[in-house]
Chain A
Amino acid sequence: DVKVTQSSRYLVKRTGEKVFLECVQDMDHENMFWYRQDPGLGLRLIYFSYDVKMKEKGDIPEGYSVSREKKERFSLILESASTNQTSMYLCASSSGDSPSYGYTFGSGTRLTVV
């Protein structure tokens, strides 16, 4: 069974900390994505990557950066965590030149910034 694995289910960090959220997929997918999900706001795209070392900003990239050094791994970095970054973070991957094949999501990381 294909999988997208997020390193932590729950995470509590302090304001100002640098936070790393890791995502690994075992499907050899080219495309990887980071979303955050908040009540009433749905899923919002933060960053995505369509190849190793390639990245593009999504709709809400401010306060975040990403790293994709290997095809299977896509990391989301909160440079200086703030309380408004408390959220559920979802990683996804897809195959091919476009996501028309559908996304596979991880189980999510619920991050709380105190």
Chain B
Amino acid sequence: LAKTTQPISMDSYEGQEVNITCSHNNIATNDYITWYQQFPSQGPRFIIQGYKTKVTNEVASLFIPADRKSSTLSLPRVSLSDTAVYYCLVGGGSSYKLIFGSGTRLLVRP
């Protein structure tokens, strides 16, 4: 299963756009890229998923370049409540399993 690499932590301020990049050099042809958000003492929550190019929903956008070796989660105009750990996962194409990396701890300041 493809391993992912993402920054350990990021700081931002309310109202700013936050971009979290994830590297996944060994992504397989049929793998998807999925991002989750986790608050303390809660289970991770699905944010967005994509295969290529750009995906947008009411929460975030996901940018995937043509080679698919990386992806960027974009959170527009963050608020304090977006402070959480964000996980990038790659897989799901030929396996039931998704492997969670260490995640990126995002801190949004007033």
* Contacting residues, chain B, for A94 (C-beta < 8 A): 96
By size class, the interface of chain A is 20 to 34
Contact with B along A33-66 (1 / 0, CB 8 A): 1010000001111001010000010100000000
Contact B92 A99 (CB under 8 A): yes
DSSP class of A's interface residues: helix, strand, loop or mixed?
A: strand
B48: nearest chain-A partner, CB-CB = A102
Contact B49 A102 (CB under 8 A): yes
| Number of residues on chain B facing chain A (CB within 8 A) | 24
Please give the distance in Å from B7's CB to the nearest CB on chain A.
Answer: 15
> Which of B38-46, B58-66, B72-80 lies at the interface with chain A?
B38-46
* Contacting residues, chain B, for A107 (C-beta < 8 A): 41-43
* Contacting residues, chain B, for A90 (C-beta < 8 A): 43-44
B31: nearest chain-A partner, CB-CB = A100
Please give the distance in Å from A42's CB to the nearest CB on chain B.
Answer: 5
Chain A positions within 8 Å of B, measured between CB atoms, are: 4, 31, 33, 35, 42-45, 48, 50, 56, 58, 88, 90-92, 94, 98-108, 110
DSSP class of B's interface residues: helix, strand, loop or mixed?
A: loop
Cα of A50 to Cα of B94 in the assembled complex, Å: 13
* Contacting residues, chain B, for A100 (C-beta < 8 A): 32, 34, 49, 92-93
Take A105-B43, A105-B44 as given contacts and tell me if A42 and B102 are in contact as well, using a CB distance cutoff of 8 Å: yes
Contact A31 B96 (CB under 8 A): yes
Question: Most B CB atoms within 10 A — which of A4, A35, A99?
Answer: A99
Asked if B81 is an interface residue, CB under 8 A from chain A, the answer is no
Please give the distance in Å from B39's CB to the nearest CB on chain A.
Answer: 10
